Every structure is written in C-alpha cells, then in structure tokens.
Amino acid sequence: MIGKYDPLKGEMRCILHPDGRLEEGLKPDLSDQSVRNIYRKMVLIRLADQKALNLQRQGRLGTYAPVIGQEAAQVGSAQALEKGDWVFPSFREMGVFYMRGAPLKDIYLYWMGNEAGQKVPEDVNIFPISVPVGTHPLHAVGAGWAAKLKGEKICTIAYFGDGATSEGDFHEAMNFAGVFQTPTIFFCQNNQYAISVPRKKQTAAKTLAQKAMAYGFAGVQVDGNDLFAVYAATREARERAISGLGPTMIEAVTYRFGPHTTADDPSKYREDAEVWEWRARDPMLRLQGYLRGRGLWSEDQEAKIKAEAEAIVNQAIQEAESVPPPEPEEMFKYTFAEMTRILKEQLDDYLAFLREKET
C-alpha cells in the first residue's frame, strides 16, 4: 500500500476522517477491543502530558516538550512495532516511551532532572532521549545495519520532527540507510513548526516524505492524526524492513497544539485561528467519534477511563518525586562504563573542593 501513495503528488494516506468516518473501502487492521485499549492509553498519555506541563509551571519539573495533538502518530506507530524492535526517540516521545513499556514514573523522573529516569528496563528496547536535533537517526541506521549483518529479523525506528529534516545528520542517515538497505523506519512527526520556523520555511519540497526517493527508498505521507493510517503504514514499513526491502520514511502530518517546549511562547509566531482549525482534527476526538459510531464509547465510559488514568498518573508522579535527588558525583561516575582519566581528575578536583569547603 505504501507505493500507492505518491508523495511527489502530495497524496496522503487516510483511513479515519476527522468526523470518525472510515474512508470508503478501507477499514482498520485493529480489532474493536484493540482500538478501545489503545484509546484508553491515549487518554492516559494526554493526561500525563498535561500533568507534566502543570508540574513544570509549579517548579516541580524542568523544561518539558509537550505531546498534545500528536498522540495518534506516536501511539499508532509504537503499536505497530514488535518487542524486539529498537526505538530511537527525540525529545517529544512520551507516548512512544509509555507504549513501549517504559515506566511512567521514570519518564517523569527524567524531566525532573534525574538521568536515572532514562535507565529503562532491560527488556524495553528504547534508547535514551536525544535532545540534539536530528543526530539520532544515524544511531538507528547503525543499529539497523548491525541487525542486518547478524541476521536478526527486527527493525529500528527513529522519531524526529520536521525541523530535523533540515539537519545534515538526517541526510547522512538517509543516504547510509539507502545504500546499505538497512531495516530502518524514519518516522517524521511533521507538526508544522520547528520551534518558531514553519514547515514552508524548512524546505521547498511538496512533501517531506518525497526526500526518501533521493536516497533510493520508499517514502509515504500519512494523516498523522489518523491512528489507523499511522498504524497501517508503520506495520507495512516494518514488514518491508524485516523482509529485506530496506528502509522507509513515513511523514505523519500532525500538529502540536501546545508550545515547542515550556520555554516557548507559540503566540509569537502563529495565529489562534490556525490552532483552532487543527483542533477540529484532534486525534482523540476522531477516535472517540469512531468508537461512538460502533457503540463502544459513552460519556460514562469516558469519565471512568479518565478517573483510572488520573489515579495511575498521580501515583507515578508521587513515586518520581519520592526518589532522592542524584548526588553531583554521579555525573562523573556514570557517563561511561569505566571512568576516563579526565573524568577521574575532574571528580578528584570536585571532591577536593568539597573538603576545602568543609574546612
């Protein structure tokens, strides 16, 4: 199906319309029960995201990059992966982390400034958050190449925003992946802005997905607020990867309702009318409409789902805030598996400073 949607013509894959209707002749690859379970997770992720914003405003959490508006892109793609696949996130993937099995407590812990929050469980194949823009797709490609050489039937996936496609590392990763046909998925969440720079100032290309063609592999643009389209495209990209057909780039066209981070004021560079236009395409309302149409959603059910999510999120916050803050020495001890000579010298200098301060 990926080849049926030509990004050069601006063709976008869509299954679920904003009003909850299915595209004629198409249906989701997910059972009703799966969709209901996914919706519950999306509700929790949105609530957890809002709580993070509140905590930051209260001084209980550091600078945070909100997810609101991009839940379908993150949840749909993560749902399509298998346990052995490796994920390489940027800094806006709370939904992906949660879907892949990272404890919510640890996600909060990281944003509270404790690096221990990025020590995910051994059976969770997700790399730490990458704050530099566009550097981690190279790591995803390298891991994919290693998997290919070892004969492992897994894929790697790199998540990034539209701004990353303007970075040199992104193009190097795409080129390497194309040449060596690595089992890699490049998942671009095109949320229309790289901080304050709009998509139209990022590139003159009609789509971002078409950039894959220059590197010799498939690219597809999907409605990023359509859970079903995202899931289907990612699932197909994974099948292509493990069957030896090489990488795929998916451009999920979505929108961030909130700021780039809590240090940003989006009112300085975009109009409220634009935000409200995209609000009508809210991925949560869209899926809610689908479930309602199938008799699987009601106001009472929604209230119960939100209450359950609230309890889970509040428990995670309580657990994260109960973790003692890290000692300054940890920045020297745990950067590498074994401390380098320079780090040892820096630690010695720091400890000497503490002793002198005590006297």
What are the residue numbers of the active site? 256, 260, 269
Secondary structure of the chain in HEC code, one letter for each residue? CHHHCCHHHCCEECCECCCCCECCCCCCCCCHHHHHHHHHHHHHHHHHHHHHHHHHHCCCCCCCCCCCCCHHHHHHHHHCCCCCCEEECCCCCHHHHHHHCCCHHHHHHHHCCCHHHHCCCCCCCECCCCCCCCCHHHHHHHHHHHHHHHCCCCCEEEEEEHHHHHCHHHHHHHHHHHHHCCCEEEEEEECCEECCEEHHHCCCCCCCHHHHHHHCCEEEEEECCCHHHHHHHHHHHHHHHHCCCCCEEEEEECCCCCCCCCCCCHHHCCCHHHHHHHHCCCHHHHHHHHHHHCCCCCHHHHHHHHHHHHHHHHHHHHHHHCCCCCCCCHHHHCCCCCCCHHHHHHHHHHHHHHHHHHC
